[in-house]
Amino acid sequence: MPHDLRRTRKYRGSRYCGWGQVGQHRKSGSRGGKGYAGGHKHFWIQTVKYNPNRYRRIGFVPPSSLRSLPATINVGELEDLAVKLMGAEAVKSGAEFDLTEIGVGKLLGRGSISTALKVRVDSASASAKSKLEEAGGSIVE
């Protein structure tokens, strides 16, 4: 609340408000610089406390690494998935199981398989191919 005893009321109309005429308390030099100036020097504590990732090195990311990897599935999960999607009778009769329709791009070799499945997939690892062929199935290109 403004009243007569406040110092700013006393200095109304004067040019420098008691700080002299050579710019004290007037420009950005009195606050240590504009914006983030001094973040590596006299404002380092503020940088550490409030903006710790300011000087983090992110590095170069080549555009080829920004391509997403294909969705994968393991050989051990194939039987359950085929029965769930096609039915037990279709799996026993040897129908072709298309992984590309459900969005899977690569078949990996973890796990084991006992039924002979014909699997259509874009790519498969060597161990996945060998496990499918041991069970009597094949990969359709």
The tokens of 118 are what? Answer: 């014909």
pLDDT in tens, 1-41: 667 778 888 888 888 888 888 878 888 888 899 988 999 99
d(CA 96, CA 75): 15
127 Cα distance to chain centroid: 30
pLDDT in tens, 83-127: 898 888 888 887 888 999 999 999 999 999 988 889 999 999 999
d(CA 118, CA 84): 16
Ordered DSSP codes for 66-92: GSPPPPEEEGGGHHHHHHHHH-HHHHH
In a domain, 97, yes or no: yes
Q: What is the mean pLDDT of residues 32-58?
A: 92
The pLDDT value given to residue 2: 65
Residue type, 30: S
- Whether 82 has a pLDDT exceeding 70, the answer reads yes
In a domain, 50, yes or no: no
In a domain, 11, yes or no: no
The tokens of 84 are what? Answer: 């769930």
What is the pTM for the complete model shown?
A: 0.54
Are 111 and 74 in contact by the 8 Å Cβ rule? The answer is yes
Q: What's the number of domains the chain is made of? A: 1
The pLDDT value given to residue 46: 93
In a domain, 7, yes or no: no
In a domain, 125, yes or no: yes
CATH of the domain at 76: 3.100.10.10
